[in-house]
Structure 1
Amino acid sequence: MAEWLVERGIGETRAALVDGDSVLEARILPDAALVAGTVAAARLARRIPARNQGIAIWEDGEALVTPLPRDVTEGARFNIEITRPPIPEPGKPKRALARPTDAPPGAAPPLEQALDGPVRQCDWRDTDRLERAGWSELLEEAESGIFRFPGGEGRIALTTAMTLIDIDGDLAPADLALAGARAAAMAVRRLDIGGSIGIDLPTLADKATRHACAAAIDAVLPQPFERTAVNGFGFVQIVRRRARLSLPELYAQDAVLAHARALIRRAERSTGAGERTLHAHPNVIYAIDSREDWAVRLSERLGAPVALRADPALAISAGHVQARFP
């Protein structure tokens, strides 16, 4: 039976719906991230009457508020609930989204409350069930945007309009389209991709194959979501609720910081005794060192000193951990 495994790590909270040795869904919430469900006391900076919206600001950020109550004037203070965090995009990141609320300011509910199904709390002292289910491979997919399936692969591209997934491979077009539709839907679920999503399958003249591809998507993706039919060019659009950054968006937003958090997780579970030395690219080491509590908390969890060693010859994804004694 599938169950959610939740880890409150250093710098992030991780959750994965694991069935046997496979991750069906995954979520990562960085500690400093603005989370949907947070209620903030904000001030209306600007009304947008034509769209019944407004720009609200507070000490830590700003959000586009919809719908905007008519009695809230510019400069007035009111409470808002975050419904989606800001989205990193080239040039001009998208603002967070929010709605008015009568609730008092406060943090979002714990991640566990939003998970559907049994939940098990895990930590660094337990058997690493996430890694056994392919956690490192999942992060590699998120960073590279590439996932593979028998006979083909998918490539994920983040655009300002939507997340695009291109399917390519060596199978016959109909077989590739069917396998690719299922694999793409699995990747959407696994990598926590929301919002508008376009999947580009091989051109399909046969309506029966197009219907089969749509059925494959419906069988994999849990509701709620909406989708179009698969057209003759093999394109299908899916729209899912978007309450947080997807895993690929987390890497697009700050790949160095994402790798730093992943290295800390590996260090937590490193074997051996004595001092642990984290070897990584200088930018990754700086990301860890500039957050004073990370190394301290890691040392407390390990019960051993922690040393940081910058190596410019290493790629940002090539960090590793060395124990003084095996």
Structure 2
Amino acid sequence: MPEWVVERGIGETRSVRIHAGEIVEARVLLEGVEPAGAILEGRLIETGFPAVAQVGCQQYLLPKGAPGVTEGALIRIEITRERIPGIEPWKRPLARLTDEPLRPAQPMDAEVLPFPSPEDRLERAGWSDLIEEARSGIVRFEGGELRISLTPAMTLIDVDGRLPPFDLAVASAVAAARMILRHGIGGSIGIDLPTIAGKDQRQAVGAAIDANLPLPFERTAMNGFGFIQIVRVRARASTFELASDRAPFEARVLLRKVAMDRTGATCLVAHPSISAVFERNVAWIDALARQIGGGVTLRSDQSLPIHGGYAQNV
């Protein structure tokens, strides 16, 4: 059976489901983000549809409103969608009114890994490959590749490859379904597949998605132009959405790598935008210093690509 493992890193908690030695599903919870499923107490600051609740410094939209509750009243809410970083920072997290007791999100039935660990099980299962896919927006499969683009309306998946059209359509449908699960893509998803002729062939492509993407989801039939739309519950950010907030994403990637690979006093050399993230998050640097057993200093290098940060001995 696939197994979930959890790694509580610096600035984020990484949860991955591993099957046959590979990551088939990944979720990343950023530090300071309340997870979906948590029930919190806040104050209703705006009525209507949506209503708005305030919990600490965070506002939550209540799409179904708060019927019968007056503005300023204390309420309990259940988080239904976590804060989504990246291309839509103005979008507030979503919640619903509830009478249930306050509680954190239900813990996942998973093995918690030590961090750092002498045995990097995430890396052994392909963590770096997953990060590169999220960073580049390119997911390769035998005979072709998927190109993922984020838009305010949906996540778009474009297909390119060298196989005959029907073979490419089926192979890319399988790859897209597995990629959607692997990277935790929710909400509205559009897949632009090769145009193929015949109802039977288009149904075969739909069946390939159904066989590789677990429910719940809804999808359209493949139309004559090769387009399929899928809608999944969107409870959290996909790894592509996390990667679109580029500097913090790359800063956390670098922190994980250094924590796993080094001990003793270290200098982090990185693009200025990454150094700026570290300067705003001094606690991350302090945590890294404790984990590697030595002081951590920073040096900016404008010539480095944003993903090109590294560590060197002091």
TM bucket normalised to smaller: over 0.9
The answer (yes or no) to whether the contact 1:194–1:242 under 8 Å persists in 2 is yes
| Correspondent of 1:269 among 237, 256, 260 | 260
Match for residue 216 of structure 1 among 183, 208, 224: 208
The 2-side partners of 1:105 and 1:84 are apart by 17
Q: Which residue identity lines up with residue 14 of structure 1 in the other structure?
A: R
- Equivalent residue of 1:14, what SS? strand
Given residue 86 of structure 1, which amino acid in structure 2 is its aligned partner? R
Structure 2 residue 235 is matched with structure 1 residue 238: no
Query: What is the percentage of aligned positions where both structures have the same residue?
Result: 48
RMSD in angstroms over aligned alpha carbons? Answer: 2.1
Q: Is the 8 A contact 1:266 1:321 kept in 2?
A: no
Q: Output the amino acid matched with 2:138.
A: I
The residue number in structure 2 matching 1:141 is 133
Q: Structure 1 residues 44, 135: closer, same or farther in 2, change over 3 A?
A: same
List runs of 5+ in structure 1 lacking aligned partners: none
CA distance in 1, matches of 2:46, 2:285: 42
TM-score, normalization by structure 2: 0.92
Question: What are the within-5 Å matches in structure 2 for residues 308-323 of structure 1?
Answer: 308-323=298-313
Alpha carbons 2:247, 2:273 under 8 Å: kept: yes
Instruction: Quote the offset at 1:313 in angstroms.
Output: 0.8
Shift of 1:225: 1.4
AA matched with 1:158: L
Equivalence for 1:152: 144
Partner secondary structure for residue 274 of structure 1: coil
Match of 2:176 among 168, 178, 184: 184
Query: Any residues of structure 2 matched to 1:21-40 within 5 Å, and which?
Result: 21-40=21-40
C-alpha contact (below 8 Å) 2:118/2:260 kept by paired residues:
no
- Give the aligned residue type for 2:265: E
Q: Deviations over 1:71-111 (max 9, x none)?
A: 2122322121111023357577322211112245554344x
AA aligned opposite 2:80: T
2:285 corresponding residue in structure 1: 295
In structure 2, how many angstroms separate the alpha carbons of the residues matched to 1:287 and 1:78? 35
- What is aligned with 2:73? 76
Assess, with a 3 A threshold, how the Cα gap between structure 1 residues 321 and 88 changes in structure 2: closer, same or farther. closer
Task: Write out per-residue CA displacement over residues 199-246 of structure 1, whole angstroms, 9 at most, x where no aligned residue.
Answer: 110112122221221111112111211112122211111111111111
Unaligned runs of 5+ in 2: none
Inter-CA distance 256–266: structure 2 relative to 1 (3 Å threshold):
same
What SS is found at the alignment partner of 2:149?
strand
Show the counterpart of 2:105.
108
**Residues in 2 aligned to 1:138 and 1:203: alpha-carbon distance in whole angstroms:** 29
